[in-house]
Amino acid sequence: MENADERSRGQFVRFAKRIFMDGDLKINEYILRLTGSATLPEKLNVGEDYTVGVSVCCDSVKIKSNEDGTFDLIYYCKLVSDVVVSNRWGRTVKARKKGSMSQKLRFVLMQKHSELGIT
């Protein structure tokens, strides 16, 4: 006989398969939520538009019901590298990612694993 944890885990797995494999649920929106911060070497101008280039790691996804038969998928991503900020005139500022040395080392190792095709 299975316990409550196993039963709820099984229900979640069946629900996730319906969403990601069967495609019978209607996804209303795919939402990207970013976390993290970087230090800038100089100020930015308030009211000016900027283009931001960043590498992120998606570490979780949340399924949110809209109560109308549709769902939103919210992807939670963390900042993993330095950030490049440029304005519309092409002026670029490189911001340093905040974080411990171990976090930065882990990111570099993950990049090397990916480049070399190591799993």
Which residue intervals of 1-119 are DSSP H helices? 4-17, 101-116
| Amino acid, single-letter form, for residue 116 | L
DSSP string covering 88-102: TT--EEEEEEPS-HH
Quick check: helix, strand or coil at residue 61? strand
Domain count, the chain: 1
Residue 52 has pLDDT above 80, yes or no: yes
> What local confidence, expressed as pLDDT, does residue 27 receive?
83
> What local confidence, expressed as pLDDT, does residue 19 receive?
60
Task: Give 3-44 pLDDT, tens digit per residue.
Answer: 555 666 666 666 666 666 556 678 889 999 998 888 888 888
The pLDDT of 79-92, averaged and rounded, is 83
Q: What is the extent of the structural domain holding 8?
A: 4-116
Are the C-beta atoms of 105 and 61 separated by less than 8 Å?
A: no
pTM confidence score: 0.60
**pLDDT band with cut points at 50, 70 and 90 for residue 54:** confident
> What local confidence, expressed as pLDDT, does residue 46 receive?
92
Report CA 95 to chain centroid distance, whole Å.
19
The pLDDT of 75-88, averaged and rounded, is 85
